Amino acid sequence: MAIKLIPGPRPGTEGGGPPPKASTASARPDAAPVPAVQDSATRGEVSDKARDAVARRLARAFDQAVRLLHGGKNKEALIAWRKVLKLAPKLPEAHVNMGFTLLSLGRPEDARVFFNSAIMLRADQANAHYGLALALNQLHDTKG
């Protein structure tokens, strides 16, 4: 089974564009949202410098998780995705990639939870629907 990773955040960017197309995670589009940072920044609670630092930390964590998953280090990737989700709990791409990591570890029930949460965050997240279908198939749940 080939897993197609989806893009994540780029430092200093905010959402507002169309949802990113599926591609390798290392090629993140400028339009990808940074929800945890954006939410605080729009309320004026975080300086630009602090927001940029958080965005850089998030981008580094996302890239590390992708590298681990691509390298087949699924247990380490699982820990890395947890770190990403702690930094940006509303980032659907992180939920999707966590789901694919869990599928790689043979945990389709747990993966289903993350694919569903990605769909709740962004209903048109195609990779979340695809991952959910894979998880349901592994669970022999053809009705969903």
Render pLDDT for 95-140 as a digit per residue (tens, 0 to 9).
Answer: 999 999 999 999 999 999 999 999 999 999 999 999 999 999 999 9
Count of domains in the chain?
Answer: 1
Q: Tell me, rounded to whole angstroms, the distance of Cα 14 from its chain centroid.
A: 15
Q: How many CA atoms lie within 13 A of 97 on its CB side?
A: 34
What is the mean pLDDT of the segment spanning 9-35? Answer: 40
Q: Classify residue 18: in a domain, yes or no.
A: no
| CA–CA separation, 141 and 128 (whole Å) | 17
Q: Classify residue 122: in a domain, yes or no.
A: yes
Tell me: pLDDT of 73 over 70. yes
Q: Classify residue 7: in a domain, yes or no.
A: no
Q: Are 122 and 19 in contact (CB under 8 A)?
A: yes
What is the mean pLDDT of the segment spanning 60-70? Answer: 96
Q: Classify residue 22: in a domain, yes or no.
A: no
Q: Classify residue 28: in a domain, yes or no.
A: no
| CA–CA separation, 144 and 135 (whole Å) | 10
What is the mean pLDDT of the segment spanning 69-79? Answer: 96
Q: Classify residue 144: in a domain, yes or no.
A: no
Q: Classify residue 102: in a domain, yes or no.
A: yes
- H, E, C per residue of the chain: CCCCCCCCCCCCCCCCCCCCCCCCCCCCCCCCCCHHHHHHHHCCCCCHHHHHHHHHHHHHHHHHHHHHHHCCCHHHHHHHHHHHHHHCCCCHHHHHHHHHHHHHCCCHHHHHHHHHHHHHHCCCCHHHHHHHHHHHHHCCCCCC
Domain with 70 in it: 35-138
Q: What is the CATH number of the domain that holds 132?
A: 1.25.40.10
What is the mean pLDDT of the segment spanning 45-63? Answer: 89
